[in-house]
Amino acid sequence: MCDVAGNRNRVFEIFGIPSTALFGQLLIGLINGSFYALLSLGLAVIFGMLNIINFSHGAQYMLGAFVAYLLLQYSGLGYWPALIVAPLIVGITGVIVERLFLQWLYKLDHLYGLLLTFGLALIIEGVARNQFGSAGLPYTLPDSLRGGQNLGFMFLPNYRAWVIVASLTICIGTWFVIERTRLGANLRAATENPTLVRAFGINVPRMITLTYGFGVALAAFAGVMAAPIYNVSPQMGSELIIVVFAVVVIGGMGSILGAIVTGFGLGVIEGLTKVFFPEASNTVIFVIMAIVLLVRPAGLFGRRA
């Protein structure tokens, strides 16, 4: 074998696995991890304020991808504007959903929130299937993010690098806003004791509405980023959301940073499983969940014992 040119990847082996395959799967793991992190972050933020597990989170992620697709098809708005516009549109639908439906459930058992948002997920997915069929639709990559970098040991497509950087930025930004700013302090206070915070003259119901809108917008943002990688399809959200639930159970919803770390970590572990033990790659996260439940029932970052 002559590898004179040097611009080809130098392939070496780790535990009998070619390095390109290993790093390739690691990269896919990080990408999946970014989606897990973004979605579980949104779930945690919504749960903190509304005490509702947003089952329609996966459907709203799918909605984000579809809005981006429709913007490109019918109004010629490309990827970059869609990255702002689609989460905004989906976020507004979230605000409407909260005002129309969710606000009546806060005094009831948590289970009703789960059931109602499950119903919403069925409606959104059903409508999407009727309009677009079950087959996936392709979303073309923006020109500015085509191509990739040769890192010597692997080929790194620019778009995938962008997804990881962007989601990390959004995750850390969200963490910063909630844990380190005045707005976040109000939010955390309202989670602990809404009545007291209202007494200080803060409009808590409006805050709850906007929190839901923001959480939903995060899901849509993830959806837009996912559109060029996976096909845009009606069922892209429903399977993802179940994995994200497992991620949330593993991490516990008490900590924002915990959700981010768990999301990325599990993505990487899933990627590695694909290399070493491909049969288990679909189930590894659920198995980890079972182990965590046995060893640390409250979850890795759970507050309650």
Partner 1 sequence: MEQRVADTLAKKPSVLRGHAETIAFMVMVAALIAAPFFTYPLFLMQAMCFALFACAFNLLIGYVGLLSFGHALYFGWASYLSAYSAKAWGFPPELAILTGTATAAICGLLAGSLAIRRQGIYFAMITLALAQMMYFFALQAKFTGGEDGIQAVPRGFLFGLIDLRNEATMYVVVLVIFLAGFLFIYRIIHSPFGEVLKAIRENEQRAISLGYKTDRYKLVAFVLSATLAGAAGATKAIVLQLASLTDVNWPMSGEVVLMTLVGGLGTIFGPVVGSFVILLMQYKLAAVGEWVLVIQGVIFVACVLLFRRGVIGELANKLRIRL
Q: List interacting residues with partner 1 (CB under 8 A).
A: 47, 53, 101, 104-105, 108-112, 114-116, 118-127, 129-130, 238-239, 242-243, 245-246, 248-249, 279, 282-283, 286-287, 289-290, 293-294, 297-298
Least CB distance to partner 1 at residue 135 (A): 13
Q: What is the CA radius of gyration of the chain?
A: 20
**Minimum CB distance to partner 1, residue 22 (Å):** 23
CB of 122 to partner 1, least distance (A): 3
- Which CB sits closer to partner 1, 165 or 290? 290
Main-chain dihedrals φ then ψ at residue 156, nearest 5 degrees = -110, 105
> In sequence order, what are the residues at sequence separation of 6 or more whose Cβ sits closer than 8 angstroms to the Cβ of residue 49?
187, 190, 191, 207, 208, 211, 212
Evaluate whether 45 touches 217 at the Cβ level (below 8 Å). no
- Judged by CB, which is closer to partner 1: 23, or 55? 55
Least separation in angstroms between residue 83's CB and partner 1 is: 28
Cβ-based nearer residue to partner 1, 187 or 289: 289
What value, to the nearest 5°, has the Cα angle with vertex 46 and ends 40 and 49?
140
**Cα(209)–Cα(187) distance, rounded to whole angstroms?**
12
**CA dist 51 → 158, 166, 245 (Å):** 38, 28, 15
* Residue 50 or 72 having the CB closest to partner 1: 50
User: Closer to partner 1 at the Cβ: 163 or 248?
Assistant: 248
Residue 46 vs 164, nearer CB to partner 1: 46
In angstroms, give the least distance from the CB of 242 to partner 1: 5
Alpha carbons 59 and 223: distance in angstroms, whole number: 10
DSSP string, 252-296: -SS-HHHHHHHHHHHHHHHHHHHHH-GGGTTTHHHHHHHHHHHH-
Q: Which of 40/209 has CB closer to partner 1?
A: 40
* Shortest reach from residue 36's CB to partner 1, in Å: 13
Token digits for 15?
């535990």
| CA end-to-end distance (rounded Å), the chain | 58
Alpha carbons 205 and 184: distance in angstroms, whole number:
15
User: Cα(58)–Cα(220) distance, rounded to whole angstroms?
Assistant: 9
Q: How far is the CB of 181 from partner 1 (least distance, A)?
A: 28
